Structure 1
Amino acid sequence: MPDLPAFAVGLCDDAAVFPPGRAPLADAVPAHRRHRAAPYTALVGPLILPATALDDLAPLLDREPGGPLDLALTAPAGPAQAADALAAAAGLPVDLRGLEVAVPAGWTPSDLVRAVDGLRTDVPIHVEVPRDERRPAVIAALAASGHRAKFRTGGVTADLYPDPAELAAAVAAAVAAGVPFKATAGLHHPVRNTDPETGFDQHGFLNLLLAADAALDGRPAAELAALLADRDAASVAARVAALPPDRTAAARAAFVSFGTCSITDPLTELADLGLLPAALTEEYA
């Protein structure tokens, strides 16, 4: 089986239980194990679950064959919920790969960093950066503490989608500060598009990769916004394919992954763009 291109390794975190997919946990766990055993396994990051799912996860793992489940947890209620989730996960047969923490209302960046530092875990921690005036201070605090950022790029309502200028400014700020970031929600396709059912303009995850590369090259935010707004799939794919290995590695170190409720959709769409070997998608042809 051919190797996966470097730009795609570990790119897709398995967010099957989150909207719009909303897969039942009892289906998401065995499906994730199948993805991890498939020829395209190198594309797939951990299964992402909310902290509140751990009680329901435990009996499923008792029944499921296989080794530890590779897992990342989200704590939308903040660091206190994250601490409880870490304690609960410690008693489960899981390989915890990441923790994603939201910023509670009214918290200062120093409060946040102090609480996150106190979580006493060696897994990467991504802090969801608020889409308001707190963003610069939160990114600066993450740079000082060595933690990572998480940017929300969509959701179930139109207001959850930042426009290209807003997302470009966030990417530029994170890259300038040396803060790696992941993205969550709304990245349903490789290239920017308008969803025919909702009418929402959706960001493309390849556009985001190119924006990270441009930010590393010191390009202004306006150029990043233009890359994020590009809807020419052939052009975007060609730019990704043309990235030299060193720039690909640097861009992926900056943009570490994104959450997707479907692993097979990005897999097949990247193959359709000629960026992945077709052999990897034969099961879904």
Structure 2
Amino acid sequence: MTTASLRALLSHLIDYAGLFPPAAVDLPTAIKNYQRDRATGDAWMLGAFVLPISRARDVPATLADTAASLPLSLLVGPDDLPPPDLQVVSVEAKTNDPAVVRQLVERWQPAMVFIELNPADEREVMWATLRELGAGAKIRTGGVTADAFPAPETVVNFIVRAADWRVPFKATAGLHHPIRAVHRLTYDIHSPQGVMHGFLNVFLAAAFAWHGMSPDNVERVLAEEDVANFQFTDAGVSWHCQTLTTEAIRAARREFCRSYGSCSFDEPRADLRALGLLR
């Protein structure tokens, strides 16, 4: 039985992004995969279906009713308009212009807007705008090349700033595995390898940061490579001498660290089972 604290951490955590690399399946297959996973006992970990707005009109007529029932996270640009008859729960956009953020929030409400920030942009105005408008931030945590993975200090800086500003966030790309380790960067057996951030690391680091952990320790949580140092019970989770109650994890997930996009729902679950965390 999955412990209550791990269930709190993983509940609706994984937004399915099967259209994107390295999986890059076609739209009918992605929808079929998502609907299949919604019917499994692991559906409690599944979040929204990630879809570029350019593909909304490409949904075949035979799948229109199915697509309309999907909770969507749409990737949009500043000039895109909400498509009719789709269940849009969130939108994701990339901009460093506060005026564009305001425009997106006004246009897409009541959907949650997440803005992918440039990690090198240190301006406080973007964080202040997100806080004012009730929007979220987004961080890219990987890709299909080694240079697409941000350094731990970059991820920690993002998490700590978001926690300080009380701005919720989501992550995207590269979080296929629970624990930080070296993995192949794509599904090709000849793919180069690199160190990939773990989704347990990222979201536990965020939960600890939300509840006041020092930045140095947040970075240590992010860099942890031994899953045995994360002890999940029904009461809470511990990492060395640091603890969070299950209710504290729920609060952090609800108010702060929302989800991450993954092109695979199978791979994270298989790894969790291999580690004995998911049954």
Question: Equivalents in 2 of 1:192, 1:237: separation in Å?
Answer: 16
Preserved CA contact (<8 Å) 1:194 1:202: yes
**1:114, distance to aligned residue in structure 2 (A):** 2.5
Residue of structure 2 equivalent to 1:108:
97
2:209 aligned with 1:215: yes
Matches within 5 A, 1:52-131: 52-62=54-64, 68-75=69-76, 78-81=77-80, 83=81, 86=82, 88=83, 90=84, 92=85, 94-103=86-95, 107-109=96-98, 111-131=99-119
Q: After superposing the two structures, state which structure 1 stretch, 187-196 or 10-19, moved more.
A: 187-196
Structure 1's 172 and 61: CA in aligned 2 closer, same or farther, altered over 3 A?
same
CA distance change for structure 1 residues 133 and 120 in 2, over 3 Å: closer, same or farther?
closer
Superposition pairs for residues 228-243 of structure 1, below 5 Å? 228-236=222-230, 238=232, 241-242=237-238, 243=244
Q: Could you tell me which residue of structure 1 aligns to residue 15 of structure 2? A: 13
Q: Distance in 2 between matches of 1:45 and 1:212?
A: 18
Q: Residue 281 of structure 1 aligns with which residue? A: none
Residue 120 of structure 1 and its aligned partner are, at CA, apart by 4.2
Q: 1:118 to 1:58 in 2, by over 3 A?
A: farther
1:253-268 correspondence runs (5 A) = 253=254, 254-268=256-270
Aligned 8 A contact 1:129 1:139 in 2: no
Matches within 5 A, 1:113-262: 113-134=101-122, 136-196=124-184, 197-236=191-230, 238=232, 241-242=237-238, 243-253=244-254, 254-262=256-264
CA distance in structure 1 between the aligned counterparts of 2:74 and 2:183, rounded to whole angstroms: 28
Residues 6 and 249 in structure 1, CA contact (< 8 A), matched pair in contact too: yes
Name the CA distance, whole Å, in 1 between partners of 2:276 and 2:2. Answer: 14
Q: Deviations over 1:42-94 (max 9, x none)?
A: 111111011111121142424x669712221112xx3213x2xx1x2x1x4x3
Q: In proportion to residue count, which structure has more helix?
A: 1
Residue equivalent to 1:283: none
Query: Is the CA contact (8 Å cut-off) linking 2:101 and 2:115 kept in structure 1?
Result: no
- Which residue identity lines up with residue 74 of structure 1 in the other structure? L
Deviation, 1:179, is 0.6
C-alpha displacement of 1:134:
4.5
Structure 2 residue ranges without an equivalent (≥5): 185-190, 239-243
Cα RMSD after superposing both structures: 2.3
SS in structure 1 of the partner of residue 50 of structure 2: strand
Separation (CA, whole Å) in 2 of partners of 1:120 and 1:67: 17
Q: In the TM superposition, what is the alpha-carbon distance from 1:230 to its structure 2 partner?
A: 1.1
Q: TM-score, normalised by structure 1?
A: 0.84
Instruction: Tell me how far apart the structure 1 counterparts of residues 55 and 108 of structure 2 sit (CA, whole Å).
Output: 21
* Cα offset, 1:16, TM superposition: 0.7
Residues 127-186 of structure 1 deviation map (CA, whole Å, 9 limit, x = unaligned)? 111121256432221011110111111112222211111100100000111111110001
Share of identical aligned residues, percent? Answer: 33
Does the C-alpha gap of structure 1 residues 187 and 237 become closer, same or farther in structure 2, counting only changes over 3 Å?
A: farther
Q: Secondary structure at the match of 1:155?
A: coil
Change in 2 beyond 3 A, CA 1:120/1:268: closer
Report deviation, 1:237: 5.3
Structure with more strand by fraction: 2
* Count of aligned pairs: 263
Deviation at 1:220, TM superposition (A): 2.5
Partners of 1:248 and 1:42 in 2: how far apart? 16
SS in 2 for 1:61: helix
3-state SS, counterpart of residue 89 of structure 2: strand
- Amino acid corresponding to residue 192 of structure 2 in structure 1: T
Q: Higher mean Cα deviation, 64-73 or 133-142?
A: 64-73
Kept in 1: contact 2:102–2:133 (CA 8 A): no
Question: Matched residues in 2 for 1:125 and 1:131: separation?
Answer: 18
